[in-house]
Structure 1
Amino acid sequence: MAMTATVTFRTTPELKSRMDFLAKETHRPTSFYYNLLLEDYLEDLEDIYLSEKILEDIKSGKEKPIPAEEVFAKAGL
């Protein structure tokens, strides 16, 4: 059996109702769809929000940008 963890979060009654309806109509647990959403969109959210954080750090001087030429050179391109 795969390892699992329990997560609790708040959402709107409308979203919960929609998820419950989908689960009922398709005979799947709501956890199936919550996990599917996380698998499909978590990487995108990480890219967006972590990139914004790095940009803020660069603007505030906490982090220095790396020139593209240096990145390409280190990658052997």
Structure 2
Amino acid sequence: MLDLRLPADIEKRLEDLARKTGRSKSYFVREAIVEHLDDLEDLYLAEERLRELQSGESGTIALADLMKIHGMEN
């Protein structure tokens, strides 16, 4: 269960959409979360990876070296 407070203008838009479509507000909130959760996860992972690179906790590998490791060199 999730308890969520939205700004008044967003709540109004959500109510209008639900009324116009005959669907529940919960339906549209769920759809929005499902639609954007992958993007948010990807963003978090990219930011975390950048932090690790900048702090020296991890490094990089050249594409040519990676291709050699996987037997894909030219």
Query: Structure 2-normalised TM-score?
Result: 0.75
Gaps of 5+ in 1: 1-5
Q: Structure 1 residues 36-45 or 56-65, which shifts more? A: 56-65
Q: TM-score, normalised by structure 1?
A: 0.73
Identity %: 28
2:12 to 17, 24, 35: 17
CA gap of 1:55–1:13, structure 2 versus 1, over 3 A, is same
Distance 1:14 1:46 in 2: 26
Q: Using the TM superposition, give the Cα deviation of residue 65 of structure 1 relative to its aligned residue in structure 2, in angstroms.
A: 2.7
Q: Which has the larger radius of gyration?
A: 2
**Aligned residue in 2 for 1:46:** 41
- Residue in structure 2 matched with residue 3 of structure 1 by the alignment: none
**1:44 Cα offset (Å):** 1.1
Q: How many residue pairs align between the two structures?
A: 72
- Mapping 1:18-37, distance limit 5 Å: 18-37=13-32
Pairs within 5 Å for 1:52-63:
52-63=47-58
Structure 2 stretches of 5 or more lacking a match? none
Rounded Cα–Cα distance in structure 2 between residues aligned with 1:30 and 1:36: 10
